[in-house]
Structure 1
Amino acid sequence: MTTMRGLAVLIIAILTAVSLSSCSVVSGGPTAGEIDVRTLNIGKYPVKPLDINNDAEPGMLSWSQVGSLRLGEDVATPDQVSPGLVSNGDYHPRTFSAQSPAKDLGDSSDMQSVAQRHRLMFGFESEGYDTDTIFARYDWPYMAQNGTGLSIMVMQFGSPAEASAAATEFYEADFGRYQDQNQPAPIAKYPDTHAHWRPGTPTLRSFLAHGPYVTALLVATPTADLTALTMLAQQAYDVQLPKLDARNLITDEDAVHLPLDPDHILSRTLNPYAFEMPLGSSNDQNTVVGPHTLLNYEPNFVRAKQTLDALGVTSAAFTDSALVLRTADPNHARKAVTDHLTMAVDGSVVDVPPGVPDATCLQYTGWAGIGSDDGFKFLCIVAYRQYVGYVASLQLTDAQQKAAAQYALFANSQWE
Structure 2
Amino acid sequence: MTIVVTAVACGSDSQAADHDQTLDVGSYSTQRADSAFDDQPSRARGILVESLRLGERIVFGSDVAPEFQAGHGGNVIATAGGIRNSDGVFAPPLAPHHPLAAYIAASAETPYISEYHKGYTLSVALVAFPDEQSAAAAAVDMNQNDFAANAKNQAVGIPDYPAAQSHWRPGVPNLGSWLAWKSVLIAVYVEAPQANLDQLTGFVARTYEQQIPKLDGYVPTPADQQPMLKLDRDKLLSRLVSTGSQVLDPRQFAVYSPRGYAVLGTSPAADARDYDSKGVKAIAVSDNKYLYQMRDADAARDFTAHLTDVPTVSKYIPMRGVAGAPSIACFKATQPNPTVAGARQFRCLIPYERFVAEVFSDQESDVRQLAAAQYAVLKGSK
Alignment match of 2:362 (pick from 389, 394, 412): 394
Alignment match of 2:78 (pick from 87, 96, 99): 96
CA RMSD of aligned residues (A): 2.8
Alpha-carbon distance in 2 for matches of 1:230, 1:253: 38
Amino acid at match of 2:316: G
| 1:30 matched residue in structure 2 | 6
Amino acid at match of 2:63: Q
| 1:192 matched residue in structure 2 | 163
Number of equivalenced pairs: 372
Shift of 1:316: 1.3
Contact 2:70 2:267 in 1 (8 A): yes
TM-aligned CA distance change 1:255 to 1:395, over 3 Å: same
Amino acid at match of 1:145: H
Contact 1:64 1:121 in 2 (8 A): yes
| 1:15 matched residue in structure 2 | none
| 2:280 matched residue in structure 1 | 313
Contact 2:48 2:76 in 1 (8 A): no
Write out aligned runs for 1:22-101 (5 A).
24-26=1-3, 30=6, 32-33=8-9, 35=18, 39-52=22-35, 56=39, 58-83=41-66, 85-89=68-72, 93-97=75-79, 99-101=82-84
Residue 147 of structure 1 pairs with residue 119 of structure 2: yes
| 1:223 matched residue in structure 2 | 194
TM-score (norm 2): 0.87
Contact 2:42 2:228 in 1 (8 A): yes
Shift of 1:76: 1.6
Amino acid at match of 1:267: S
Shift of 1:295: 1.2
Alignment match of 1:288 (pick from 255, 266, 276): 255
| 1:182 matched residue in structure 2 | 153
Alignment match of 1:115 (pick from 82, 94, 97): 94
TM-aligned CA distance change 1:296 to 1:155, over 3 Å: same
Shift of 1:56: 3.1
Indicate the SS of the match to 1:120.
coil
Shift of 1:343: 4.3
Residue 128 of structure 1 pairs with residue 110 of structure 2: no
| 1:378 matched residue in structure 2 | 346
Alpha-carbon distance in 1 for matches of 2:212, 2:269: 22
Deviations 1:103-133 (A, max 9, x none): 1134xxxx22222210000101121111244
Identity %: 26
TM-score (norm 1): 0.81
Amino acid at match of 2:248: P
Alignment match of 1:156 (pick from 128, 151, 154): 128
Alpha-carbon distance in 1 for matches of 2:358, 2:98: 38
Structure possessing the higher relative contact order (Cα contacts under 8 Å, 6 or more residues apart): 1
Q: Which has the higher strand share?
A: 2
Alignment match of 1:253 (pick from 224, 231, 243): 224
| 1:300 matched residue in structure 2 | 267
Residue 213 of structure 1 pairs with residue 184 of structure 2: yes
Alpha-carbon distance in 2 for matches of 1:370, 1:220: 22
| 1:322 matched residue in structure 2 | 289
Contact 1:304 1:343 in 2 (8 A): no
Alignment match of 2:248 (pick from 278, 281, 296): 278
TM-aligned CA distance change 1:185 to 1:378, over 3 Å: farther
Indicate the SS of the match to 2:359.
strand
Indicate the SS of the match to 1:43.
coil
Indicate the SS of the match to 1:128.
strand
TM-aligned CA distance change 1:366 to 1:54, over 3 Å: closer
Shift of 1:73: 1.4
Deviations 1:32-83 (A, max 9, x none): 3255787222223222112227973552232111111122212222222225
Shift of 1:169: 0.6
Write out aligned runs for 1:329-408 (5 A).
329-339=296-306, 340=308, 341-344=310-313, 346-369=315-338, 371=340, 377-408=345-376
Residue 241 of structure 1 pairs with residue 212 of structure 2: yes
Contact 2:174 2:189 in 1 (8 A): yes
TM-aligned CA distance change 1:130 to 1:260, over 3 Å: same
Amino acid at match of 2:195: A
Q: What residue ranges of structure 1 are gaps of 5+ in the alignment?
A: 1-23, 137-143
Alpha-carbon distance in 2 for matches of 1:122, 1:372: 27
Q: What residue ranges of structure 2 are gaps of 5+ in the alignment?
A: 10-15
